[in-house]
Structure 1
Amino acid sequence: MENYESDIEKRMETAWGQDFPPVPKTQIKNSWSELESTIRSRSPKRSFKWAIAAAIMLLLLPALYLLSVDRSTIEINNYTQLDKEFILPDSSIVILKPNSTVSYNKKFSKREVALSGQAFFDVVKDSLKEFTVETSRTSTRVLGTSFLVTENEDLEKTEVSLYSGRILMSLKDTENRRSWAIIPGESFLLDKGKVQVKKFETDLSFSAGNKYSDLNNIELEKLFHFIEERFGYQFETNEMTKNKLVTLRINKSDSLGQILKVLSLINDVNFEINESEKTIVTLKKEKK
């Protein structure tokens, strides 16, 4: 019994994560006609019960149809505000970010994944089969590595950041057959048709699912850039922040105020937040 219930739960979970076409109107009409004729043939005392049963059947009909559909493509959506972690058929791990979608062939024989939005991939190494992530504009090919893919179709922008291993980037443009080999600590950025490869701090990220990040002698202004992206504020830098190095641990759950309080103590400065303009100003601490 437990195995049966577990199997049903798995099937329901898979079905819930997929989109299916609506039930044809003719199918609904035929089902209603059958139930209506059955109700009429019953005694008046039982008609009410059958009416309820008919209503329930109509409500359940889309769900029953949903469970009966067998598709070759599996699609996983994340409509929540939290990261969604799942395992692909080859045991590779995917951390799907909010408002993002991943789809792949049910057999997964070619290890190909289509992405819309943002996801972190920790790919199991297979020397015989490449792992490919396709977005609307780029193709990322790897054998075994961990990387973050971010696509923004509205801004025509795609960014791939590599944390370990190696990846080969190419554009979905028949006129441009060039490829880019990316190493750990580099990001491939495609912005409105222009390609740029830039460096980033691999430790300064929670994209890989880390609960905290230990930073050792990192430039303060690089940390500012991370805070700007994470919280949506802009730092106004000055002489007090240049060439400063900091060592600290940042937890994923830390708020902007908590991080600024620690930085204030380390650097003997004050940070003033302007909520209306979303800016942060560094001020010299007044001596008491």
Structure 2
Amino acid sequence: MNSNNNKYLTLLSKVLTKGASLEEKEQLEQWTNEDSTQKAFVEETTKVWNLSKNYAEELPLDMNKAWAKFEAKLETKKAKPTLLRSLTSYWKAAAIIGLVATSLIWFATQNVAEAIPVLAMVETGAEEQKELTLPDGSLVLLNENSRLTYAKDFSVREVRLEGEAFFEVTKQNGQSFEIKTQTTKTRVLGTSFNVRAYAKTPVEVAVITGKVAVESIEEGTNASVILLPNEGVVYDAIANTMEKNKQTSPNSLAWKTQELVFDNMALENVIETLERYFEVEIDSDAKILNCHYTGTFKEPKLDEVFKTIAFTFPTDLDIKKVDGKYILVGEGCE
């Protein structure tokens, strides 16, 4: 219960039981007239109290003790069950229960209203990216099909991410910054890093600068890791595994930089990178997967990438498209 509201509930109980001083009465009156909701509460509570026929016993402030005391009174009344006393007990019960219930409902309503923050949400669709500046000055680049949610007042530096985003977090007097996904929490002070957390896929975090702590928030797990620049981690919630990589993939930020870099990379990894970047399915002969490829593509187009790879490949490479799927066929490398 809000301590300020609790103070005025105490004053109201004193006024109703005629135990309030003149100063306390004035304080309650001033508070009552400050807000229409507060005024309605005082008026309704007073009406309920008056139904008790001015039951002149001080209202206990401990709700549990009040209820226990009330039950004890009912047990006493059972010994002398007259109609008049039964009715009197009924009205006393109604008054106490009404006052307690009305108070609790009103305060609960106030506390709930105070507890629920006003949220801001930024979303992107297919092939759409958005840049935004958070209230603390941190910069976010949101990748396609993603959603970022945070409290507008940003009193706590915390965001929730569904999808992928690159963060440049500002330092703020040692206050941490947290990114929550469905299965992980990433905590930083001031740094730049990438978080990938699309539905039904492992969460990936890649650090560019600074220091980042990543931990699982799945029930029954306690996996965590500290990442330094150029380090990354992949958390698979289904397998409950957290794998730290000492060297991040050169293409972990390709969606942001619009550049693909292959430096003597195994074709198997090249294919994985192309599937992820272009959101396509690629099959190949197993015998060509051990071949390596080197090349850089700025603002890449898939057809151009395939043509360049086929032209510069150490052996003959044929690329076909069948039923929406790309198939790579060729001879293996020694």
Pick aligned residue for 1:182 from 227, 230, 242: 227
Q: Which runs of 5+ in 2 are unaligned?
A: 1-116
* 2:217 corresponds to: 172
- Looking at structure 2, the residues matched to 241 and 188 of structure 1 have their Cα atoms a distance apart, in angstroms, of 23
Match of 1:204 in 2: 251
- Matching residue of 1:68: none
Considering fraction of residues, name the structure with more strand. 1
Q: CA deviation at 1:80?
A: 5.2
Residues 120 and 146 in structure 1, CA contact (< 8 A), matched pair in contact too: yes
2:298 alignment counterpart: 251
Aligned 1:236-247 pairs, distance under 5 A:
236-246=284-294
Uncovered stretches (5+) of structure 1, i.e. residues with no partner: 1-70
Q: Name the counterpart of 1:6.
A: none
CA deviation vs aligned residue, 1:219-245 (integer Å, no higher than 9, x gap): 333222201222322231444442524
Match of 2:263 among 216, 219, 244: 216
Tell me the distance in 2 between the aligned counterparts of 1:219 and 1:127.
45
Question: 1:263: Cα distance to partner?
Answer: 1.0
Say how many residue pairs are matched: 211
Cα RMSD, aligned residues only:
2.8
Asked if 1:235 is matched to 2:283, the reply is yes
Would the alpha carbon gap of residues 224 and 255 (structure 1) be closer, same or farther in structure 2, given more than 3 Å must change?
A: same
SS of the equivalent of 2:256 reads coil
Residues 1:207 and 1:144: Cα distance change in structure 2 (over 3 Å): farther
Does residue 155 of structure 2 align to residue 109 of structure 1?
Answer: yes
Deviations 1:119-156 (A, max 9, x none): 22222344601110012221111123333323344x3x
Between the aligned residues of both structures, percent identity stands at 23
- 1:108–1:119: structure 2 CA closer, same or farther, 3 Å change rule? same
1:1-288 equivalent positions in 2, closer than 5 A: 72-79=118-125, 81-126=127-172, 128-153=174-199, 155=200, 157-164=201-208, 165-173=210-218, 175-183=220-228, 184-192=230-238, 194-197=240-243, 199=245, 201-207=248-254, 209-231=256-278, 232-246=280-294, 248-252=295-299, 254-268=300-314, 269-276=316-323, 278-284=325-331
Report the Cα offset of residue 112 of structure 1: 0.7
Following TM superposition, by how much is the alpha carbon of 1:168 offset from its aligned partner in structure 2, in angstroms?
1.3
In the alignment, the residues of structure 2 paired with residue 137 and residue 270 of structure 1 have an alpha-carbon distance, to the nearest angstrom, of 41
Q: Considering only CA atoms, is the larger Rg found in Structure 1 or Structure 2?
A: 2
- AA paired with 2:226? A
* Other structure's SS at 1:192 match: coil
Q: Structure 1 pair 74/277, CA: closer, same or farther in 2 (3 Å)?
A: closer
Query: 1:236 is matched by which residue type in structure 2?
Result: S
TM-score by length of 2: 0.55
Relative to total residues, which structure has the larger helix share, 1 or 2?
2
